[in-house]
Amino acid sequence: MSLSDWYKIDEVEDGIFVVEEPYHVQSFLINGQTHSALIDTGTGFRNIREAIKHLLRDDVIVLNTHWHFDHVGGNVLFDNIGISKSEAHLIEYDLSSDVLMDIYVKPFMELEIPFPDDFIPEAYEIKGSKASFHVKEGDKIDLGGRTLDAVSLPGHSHGSMAFIDSNTRSLIAGDFIYKDELYAHLEDSDLDEYIDSLIKLKQKQDAFKNIYPAHGEYPIQNSFIDRVLKEFQKIKSGAAPDRVIENFGERAHFYQFDDFSIFSKMPGYKGVKLIDNI
């Protein structure tokens, strides 16, 4: 399978390209006049840099929305990497094939989610990378005639970041919000942080019209924030879950809505620890 057969690349806004690994994750490339920003680097199944090299400016910046493995798999292909300070150390760990088999490959195989045709599960690993700089709330990333505004959105993970492109009024949101299963049940997830971040994002709605998430359909209208916030607040107030589900080996409350769902921690549970010893 060639790179073009695995990566689906489309220009979704002027100068913004989705780099999609079907059924897995979406990264986003944003081009200014002098710099390219690649927001997340995907699973690392294939060489994402090679797949997008024809689109890249001479200077390339990687911006990780958070540290989770399906967003940093291609980091080692780049030299200039930014991530929140609280999660910078987490991208430095090597992730072995044994770890990735348990937390990602086997569950996806059981669901019959496709991998590249020549994918060798036993050989899949993610090498650690090192942050060149830290990204925080209010930072402005200059790409030359185009600026990305960094927004801190803890909730899914404590250091989750998103980026607003004012040229197109687009929010690149990572795993924070999308029309699928929202994870607020991980060890580094926090329900109160999630709600506070949704309120913050609601207050910034005039700055963007479309949301481009790392999973699921895109774009999403910014009004979707109101619906998600409403349901998170109900959960905080004690709403009963639709059911209890085991996810990543941990029991969690599960709430199903029309076009999205939410996992949250059960009382007394620390939440899912994705990777031991990190």
Q: pLDDT of 11-48, one tens digit each?
A: 999 999 999 999 999 999 999 999 999 999 999 999 99
pLDDT in the model for residue 5: 83
1-37: burial string, b at 16+ Cβ within 10 Å, e else: eeeeebbebeebbebbbbbbbeebbbbbbbbbeebbb
Q: What is the pLDDT of residue 4?
A: 63
Closest to 75 (Cα-Cα) out of 121, 100, 43, 32: 43
How many CB atoms are closer than 10 A to CB 221? 9
pLDDT along the chain (278 residues), means of 10: 79 98 97 98 97 97 98 98 98 96 92 93 96 98 98 98 97 98 97 98 97 98 98 98 93 97 96 87
- What domains appear along the chain, each with residue ranges and CATH number? 3-240 (3.60.15.10)
